[in-house]
Amino acid sequence: MEFVIDHLVKNYGQKKVLKGIDFVFEEGKIYGLLGRNGSGKTTFFNCVNGDIDVDSGSFCIRDNGKEMPLLPEDIGYLVSTPTVPEFMTGREFLKFFIDIHEEVKPEKTIDEYFDYMMIPEDDRDRLLKDYSHGTKNKMQMLLNIIASPRLMLLDEPLTTLDVIIAEEMKKVIRSQKQGRITIFSTHLLDVAVDLCDQIVLLNNGKLEAIDKENLGSADFKEKIIEALREQDDDQ
């Protein structure tokens, strides 16, 4: 399975953000979408997710040579600032999500999902408004795991988490990569190198694949930093 992007363009007035992106993402890999703040990472995700219209271009799922449209149920989207119904408990929220999505076929019990996400037992029946930011983030990730989408978009989900929860989330993300395409956006080079199988640089509105094996070289890291500085100069 592949996620195929064909000449994707998005402008805001005179500002050209995505300048004809052509790229193929493959199943079973975590792609690190690396770019500076303001480079267009969230715009790219919003275009793919259908939250904003594209100016031109297209994308599809290609499986065994057959191209199919990307449907809403194919996409899981995790943002850095989670939004949850704070009047519900964690358990109520998961049960509600499963009940209203008849197409979802859970593979675990609710408590097994809590265990998998390392959410403590004494948090499970507390109101979501009392959850920490990191635990809310885990709940958001858990919904995407239960829905089991083909394409997972992770928009800087680790940026505001403490060290322990960030490492727990990395473990979960790695465990979920088989059978799906995962795109993880970040502006932190070290996070991309640690977590991702493939680095993709969003620079000057285009995507460029980077050979991860070379990222251990200080010279190569400097090359990436220089490329990102050039982006700043062009804006």
Query: For residue 233, is pLDDT > 70?
Result: no
> pTM to 2 decimals?
0.88
49 within domain boundaries: yes
Mean pLDDT of the chain: 89
The pLDDT-based confidence of 75 (bands split at 50, 70, 90) is very high
Q: Is residue 36 part of a domain?
A: yes
What range does the domain containing 64 cover? Answer: 2-80+150-234
Position 150 scores a pLDDT of 95
| pLDDT exceeds cutoff 70 at 219 | no
Give the model's pLDDT for residue 213.
67
pLDDT score recorded for residue 221: 67
Q: Is residue 14 part of a domain?
A: yes
pLDDT at 224: 66
Residue 127 in any domain: the answer is no
Choose the weakest-confidence range: 30-39, 88-97, 116-125.
30-39
DSSP string, the chain: -EEEEEEEEEEETTEEEEEEEEEEEETT-EEEEE--TTSSHHHHHHHHHTSS--SEEEEEEEETTEEEEPPGGGEEEEESS----TTSBHHHHHHHHHHH-TT---SS-HHHHHHHTT--GGGTTSBGGGS-HHHHHHHHHHHHHHH--SEEEEESTTTTS-HHHHHHHHHHHHHT-TTSEEEEEES-HHHHHHH-SEEEEEETTEEEEE-GGGGGSHHHHHHHHHHHHHHHHH-
Instruction: Look at 68-72, 130-134, 182-186, 192-196 and tell me which has the smallest mean pLDDT.
Output: 192-196
Q: What is the model's pLDDT at position 39?
A: 84
Residue 8 included in any domain: yes
Q: Is residue 131 part of a domain?
A: no
Assess if residue 30 is contained within a domain: yes
Q: Are 94 and 60 in contact (CB under 8 A)?
A: no
Residue among 113, 93, 109 nearest 101 (CA): 93
Name the domain count of the chain: 1
First vs last C-alpha separation in the chain: 35
pLDDT-based confidence at 158, cuts 50/70/90? confident
Of the chain, the percentage scoring pLDDT greater than 90 comes to 66
In a domain, 126, yes or no: no
| CATH (domain of 219) | 3.40.50.300
